[in-house]
Structure 1
Amino acid sequence: MAVTTAGHSRTSHFDLKSAQLPAVAVVLKTTDAAVFAADLAERLAGDPEFFDNDPVLIDLAPVREAAEAIDFAALCAALRAHRTRPVAVRGGSPAQMEAAQAAGLIAAPEAPPAREVREVVQEVVREVRVEVPVEVPVAAPGAVVVDKPLRSGQQVYARGTDLIVMAVVSFGAEVIADGNIHVYAPLRGRAIAGARGNTAARIFSTCLEPQLVSIAGIYRTTETELPESVRGKPAQVRLDGEKLLIEPL
């Protein structure tokens, strides 16, 4: 990057580029920071090393209409105590967003509406019958099938059923299903199974390299390198209680 000044040029010592940062979404369901802190401590009591300085996006949509003020300083302190880094907030009322920004959080874009997601699905999805030589549980009847690569920024949601992806899920893309997710190609983006709370849902991939995996709201980012036994290999993700397990197939 060259910068011209006063008739001569010099070389800059930095570049400015766009970037994407995978983050854990915390959907807030109470305005009481003490109740949230206690609930978070209870959930992570069995695995205090679950997070590893993961960035956090706080979603305020469920409490947007609440009259009570939110103590964002206490909220962020509770998150930091469990090795996370709250950086952004979205979905709140104007007063909530103003208070959050005063506490040092940035305002993130709103999640895309469901109508836009359906349009994307209609564009890239068609149902096909396939025979797959990988021994995994059979997908639910009426599963949504994607047979085209998903690029960064694209999102597919299989409402009420499983999702089968026959091509690569690129870094920055997102696949969501109320049931299981099957990716018979490299999984490099974000995969969210059991989106409506199905704790029996699983994620399968023939080449597991994800930014983030989630089942029934339990998230794990993979900025920390996956074990050699599953990295880039056929693997599954499932829940054991409230802990995500990543295992080879």
Structure 2
Amino acid sequence: MSSAPPSSPAIEIRHGQMPLVVARLRGPDVDAALAELEQRYGDAPGFFEDEPLLLDLSEWTGADRRPTPLERQALLDGLQRIGLRPLAFHGGPHGWQSALRERGLAAGEVQGPVAVRGTSPKADSPVTTAATPPAPSAPPLPSAALVVDRPLRSGQQVYARGRDLVVLAMVNPGAEVIADGHIHVYAPLRGKAIAGARGLTEARVFALALEPELVSIAGVYRTAETPWPDAVRGKPAQVRLASGPDGDKLLLEPLS
């Protein structure tokens, strides 16, 4: 006598992991936050490609300073306009929490280091130093690169998460281009370029005119405080990481 095979469940519920962009409001000045969003991303609606967001209100100061409904709405609209999708919040006064719950946001926690577009290494000196990669191995890169065809001005930041970044216009001083893979700039590179942001040591930076403020690969970086060699400054060049008996260092090579 044969028994019927057990039926597979129609639904499975389990804990998962979803990386969230974190927007931390540094104080109760919503107007200042909106002005900064406009200054950085005003000419790039949809900049963040519908990325999920946790709104961190832990630094909201002044228990008696309650946000008005118009301020809350304006901030959420501003974040959505640049492509962020508010899903959760952390901290904040009661006036924030109850209103955000009514909007469908869940209470959450900021846990561990969060990869946020615009994060860059901090150089205490022009000497090249190595940083510990945030993960033991870099994630595999998909074939599609993020392509940016507009100039990037001071204060603007682009992060190609899990892929290469291709920029077809100038990266001005004060702008940042960040990628988990390679960075290609088919124009002058005068801002900051951070390739291999999650530890990919094979990543490279290519530019038609190399004169950046900072260049970094997998946490090893160099700043313009040490003048760029004449062979590459303002010329087509690549930057790659090389390992040797003295540790990792950046190699700057002309592109012939």
TM-score category of the 2 structures, normalised to the smaller one: 0.3 to 0.5
Larger radius of gyration: 2
TM normalised by structure 1 equals 0.46
TM normalised by structure 2 equals 0.45
